[in-house]
Amino acid sequence: MGNYSTKIDEKWQKIWEDKSLYKFDENNMGKKLYALEMFSYPSGARLHAGHWFNYGPVDSWARFKKMQGYNVFQPMGFDAFGLPAENYAIKTGVHPKDSTIKNIETMEKQLKAMGAMFNWDHEVVTCFPDYYKWTQWLFLKLYEKGLAYRKKAPVNWCPSCNTVLANEQVVDGGCERCGTEVVKKDLTQWFLKITDYSEELLQKLDDLDWPEKTKAMQRHWIGKSKGAEATFKVDNSDVTFDVFTTRVDTLFGVTYVVLAPESPLTDKVTTTEHIEAVEEYKTQSAKQSDIERQSLTREKTGVFTGSYAINPVNGKKVPIWVADYVLATYGTGAVMAVPSHDERDFAFATKYNLPIIRVVEGGDSLPYTDYGKLVNSSEFDGLSGNEAKEAIVKLLSSKNLGHWKVNYRLRDWLVSRQRYWGAPIPIVYCEKCGIVPVPEDQLPVELPYDVEFAPDGRSPLAKSEEFVNTTCPHCGGPAKREVDTLDTFVCSSWYYLRYPDSKNSDKAFDPEIINKMLPVDKYVGGPEHACMHLLYARFITKALRDMGYLNFDEPFLSLRHQGLILGPDGQKMSKSKGNTISPDDYIKEYGADVFRLYLMFGFDYTEGGAWSDDGIKAISKFVDRVERILSQCTEASADKTTIDKAEKELNYVRNFVIKSVTEDAEKFQFNTCVARIMEFTNALSKYLNEEKKNTELLKQCVNDFIRILSPFAPHFSEEMWLNTGNNFSVFKEAWPNFDPKALIKDEVEIAIQVNGKIKARIDIASDLKEDAIKETALKDDNVKAAIEGKNVIKVIVIKGRLVNIVAK
């Protein structure tokens, strides 16, 4: 048994803190490195293996960068508003503020036990007034700039969480948090105008060092679509409307048009005898989610409005239908239907016996959704898809009946929440003055403590007379406060800007500091944030830039996602399955470094995988072995100075390992880093068996070994560094360099096969020419015996590895 334990952890954590070893040096901005892990939610379930997997390996990476000379800033904090604390309060009666503060205390302790280089003097907690004051300030700035607005709209409502949700928080038709099916409600809510930035949010993705999959998800979510708008006139009426289409080349194939049930146009065009059916249909479709409505496989439904529209290109009259496969919120909320070349239109037309006219050649049957030469399209017949689009848009625009058009799927971000535990929206409603923003010098609008927060679909703050009733900042008359709180994603959309200047009481942050400290150089967190936090933060950065508070475009230049650590059964950890791994117990037993090393060695960082107790035991044994070998290395006595083969081999491994670990750590390939360090351990152990040892070389090896191990096992390595006669601290040391010359082997071992069976292994000069290798191989005694009496038919040389002889 080795000496390493939590005692060693505690000893070094205290020394590090006493000596402020990890303090960020504000005077060395040239080498600043902002390493950021997504901050955590202060949950009663404490710090779990997933948090550890996010923070531990990234801290190792940051330590590696520190040793490379970077001035590392690695802050930590808490995303402390939100529903779990409120739901817990409803269940237990413990106030969200009290439970949150208690959870933060526990998690801080746990995080400290990890021994990461966190800059605790920069901690932020989003539910404290000194933070949310500035979240409210941010909202007011967006409002001033026209980027926050209030509107009545059909919004997503989670009946279980009793609040509205942003589009991004609806996953497969369900609430992102609880999975309950989301319904539509007409409500007046606050929105942030993220759509003003659709194009930039899309374009700038190209330059980011982010996982391709995450970029693809954002691209898809932003959903840029290039097409055209064409204007249809309602027959016997002055009403006209536009449709958005990506296939304007199929305009001659339109046999009906469809309006979304919620489109204001629907009521305008519906004739008297169809009102009843249309109203009935509207009620039905309000109950469906957008996902259901867009599903390709779902049975199409719809009703006729009684009106007809005129096709702008050929004057043909086509019926106007209402159907819920058309969404009111996309394009113009109206679609020209081409059943011959669109699957949904085809299914609909088939069901309701509407005509189907082919206008594009190709395919055996309809619908044919690819491009091809036009047919049944009068003067456009014979044109290719692109030619036809150009020609038809040209014709339409000459008649003022159409033009090119780009659409985005991205919608504005709904930020009102009908819940208690969040930052109050700093707005007052005055009978005389209308919407009045709370002046900056009156911030924060404090969240009152004594509130009945049991949810009933209304905002809990509405029940607090004391909170609601106020005076108008503008006219001094009676006014009422906004009672909704902000989506917690607003709090987390700017926390990385607060960290470097977290104590500032005059401003959200000092632009001078922030412009030097940001962008974040490496951001690490879960992939589930792809289209929420990671999109919101980019938007807020751009908005603040345009208001003059920042001078950079993107908050996170380089992003990595950690994988998921599963329970020992390979299932997602959950209390109900009883397969959760509590880091605390393991740390008590093995020490923080063994826990961290196991996470880094046992899993591919971006993949994760199933927990294994055997795995962590093996790592614990490895750490003990390292301790033993290092002490044997230091105790070995000097016997000689000449350089022999064993020394060369050890020196080769040493340099190879330094090179590999440097490259792999950079790429977040931590498992191979640890594997290489294990190889180094084996090489040292082997060399210790030599009868005569070069202690100078051993000393250098031990020195390098501890330095490259230190980011991965920080406490243990400090102890080893001290034990091997060095001065505090290994983290003040430079990361070792490798000697490229030591990596050129002058001899290599190759295997010789005869008819597929290995007959010999020989050492040859590594620069030996192919012919000479063949000759040497054929001269070997074992080989000679194996080919005795046979004809050598072929000799194949695979350089540096193998000679293959075929003989019959």
Q: Which of 141, 247, 411, 522 binds ligand ANZ (CB under 6 A)?
A: 247
Q: Which of 21, 433, 468, 742 binds Zn ion (CB under 5 A)?
A: 433
Return the number of the residue (472 or 626) whose C-beta is nearest Zn ion: 472
Look at residue 520 and give its three-state secondary structure.
strand
Q: What CA–CA distances, in Å, run from 759 to 496, 715, 749, 772, 806?
A: 63, 49, 13, 19, 12
Return the number of the residue (355 or 434) whose C-beta is nearest Zn ion: 434
* Distance in angstroms (rounded) separating the CA atoms of residues 808 and 791: 5
Residue 430 near which of Zn ion, ligand ANZ, none (CB within 5-8 Å, type-dependent): Zn ion
Neighbouring-strand partners of residue 164: 157
CB 671, CB 600: distance < 8 Å: yes
* Distance in angstroms (rounded) separating the CA atoms of residues 361 and 450: 70
Q: With 0-12 CB in 10 A as exposed, 13-18 as middle and 19+ as buried, what is 249?
A: buried
Hey, which residues between 464 and 503 contact Zn ion (CB under 5 A)? 472, 474-475, 477
Residue type, 494: W
Structure tokens at 767: 């620069």
CB 557, CB 520: distance < 8 Å: yes
Residue 245 near which of ligand ANZ, Zn ion, none (CB within 5-8 Å, type-dependent): ligand ANZ
Q: Which of 38, 104, 127, 335 binds ligand ANZ (CB under 6 A)?
A: 335
The minimum distance between CB 347 and ligand ANZ, in angstroms, equals: 13
The minimum distance between CB 339 and ligand ANZ, in angstroms, equals: 9
Return the number of the residue (477 or 725) whose C-beta is nearest Zn ion: 477
Residue 300 near which of Zn ion, ligand ANZ, none (CB within 5-8 Å, type-dependent): none
* Distance in angstroms (rounded) separating the CA atoms of residues 659 and 140: 52
Return the number of the residue (440 or 613) whose C-beta is nearest Zn ion: 440
Hey, which residues between 66 and 105 contact Zn ion (CB under 5 A)? none
Q: Does 490 sit near ligand ANZ (CB under 6 A)?
A: no
Return the number of the residue (407 or 724) whose C-beta is nearest ligand ANZ: 407
The minimum distance between CB 385 and Zn ion, in angstroms, equals: 58
The minimum distance between CB 429 and Zn ion, in angstroms, equals: 9
Half-sphere exposure of 440 (CA within 13 A, CB side): 13
The minimum distance between CB 367 and ligand ANZ, in angstroms, equals: 7
Q: Which stretch binds ligand ANZ (CB under 6 A): 334-342, 350-358, 609-617, 799-807?
A: 334-342
Look at residue 440 and give its three-state secondary structure.
helix
CB 120, CB 76: distance < 8 Å: yes
Q: Which of 257, 320, 336, 461 binds ligand ANZ (CB under 6 A)?
A: 336
Residue 113 near which of Zn ion, ligand ANZ, none (CB within 5-8 Å, type-dependent): none
Residue 474 near which of ligand ANZ, Zn ion, none (CB within 5-8 Å, type-dependent): Zn ion
Buried b (16+ CB within 10 A) or exposed e, 4-32: bbbebbbebbeebeeeebbebeeeeeeeb
CB 773, CB 750: distance < 8 Å: yes
Return the number of the residue (436 or 618) whose C-beta is nearest Zn ion: 436
Q: Which sign does the torsion angle of CA 716, 720, 726, 730 carry?
A: negative
The minimum distance between CB 219 and ligand ANZ, in angstroms, equals: 13
The minimum distance between CB 415 and ligand ANZ, in angstroms, equals: 24
Hey, which residues between 394 and 423 contact ligand ANZ (CB under 6 A)? 407
Q: Name residues whose C-beta falls within 8 Å of residue 717's C-beta, 6 or more positions apart in sequence.
A: 593, 706, 709, 710, 730
Q: Name residues whose C-beta falls within 8 Å of residue 472's C-beta, 6 or more positions apart in sequence.
A: 428, 430, 432, 433, 436, 478, 479
Return the number of the residue (69 or 477) whose C-beta is nearest Zn ion: 477
Neighbouring-strand partners of residue 336: 257
Q: Which stretch binds Zn ion (CB under 5 A): 186-194, 329-337, 424-432, 550-558?
A: 424-432
Return the number of the residue (246 or 612) whose C-beta is nearest ligand ANZ: 246
Q: Which stretch binds ligand ANZ (CB under 6 A): 327-335, 671-679, 774-782, 798-806?
A: 327-335
Residue 433 near which of ligand ANZ, Zn ion, none (CB within 5-8 Å, type-dependent): Zn ion
Q: Which of 155, 165, 326, 673 binds ligand ANZ (CB under 6 A)?
A: 326
* Distance in angstroms (rounded) separating the CA atoms of residues 340 and 377: 13
71-73 β-sheet, strand order:
71-73, 32-37, 522-525, 559-561
CB 752, CB 777: distance < 8 Å: yes
Half-sphere exposure of 39 (CA within 13 A, CB side): 29
The minimum distance between CB 293 and ligand ANZ, in angstroms, equals: 8
Q: Does 338 sit near ligand ANZ (CB under 6 A)?
A: yes
Hey, which residues between 250 and 279 contact ligand ANZ (CB under 6 A)? 250, 260
Q: Does 374 sit near ligand ANZ (CB under 6 A)?
A: no
Q: How many residues bind ligand ANZ (CB under 6 A)?
A: 18
The minimum distance between CB 411 and ligand ANZ, in angstroms, equals: 12
The minimum distance between CB 591 and ligand ANZ, in angstroms, equals: 54
Look at residue 605 and give its three-state secondary structure.
coil
Q: Which of 110, 160, 240, 246 binds ligand ANZ (CB under 6 A)?
A: 246
Structure tokens at 689: 């068996």
Q: Which of 225, 240, 558, 703 binds ligand ANZ (CB under 6 A)?
A: 225
Q: Report the residue count for the chain.
A: 808
Q: How many residues bind Zn ion (CB under 5 A)?
A: 7
* Distance in angstroms (rounded) separating the CA atoms of residues 605 and 205: 23
Q: Find the Cα–Cα–Cα–Cα dihedral 54, 60, 63, 67, rounded to 10°.
A: -150
399 is in an annotated binding site: no
Residue 99 near which of Zn ion, ligand ANZ, none (CB within 5-8 Å, type-dependent): none
Task: Detail the residues annotated as belonging to a binding site for ATP.
Answer: 575
Residue ranges in contact with Zn ion by CB under 5 A: 430, 432-433, 472, 474-475, 477
Residues that bind ligand ANZ (CB under 6 A): 225, 244-247, 250, 260, 326-327, 330-331, 333, 335-336, 338, 341-342, 407
Binding positions: 575
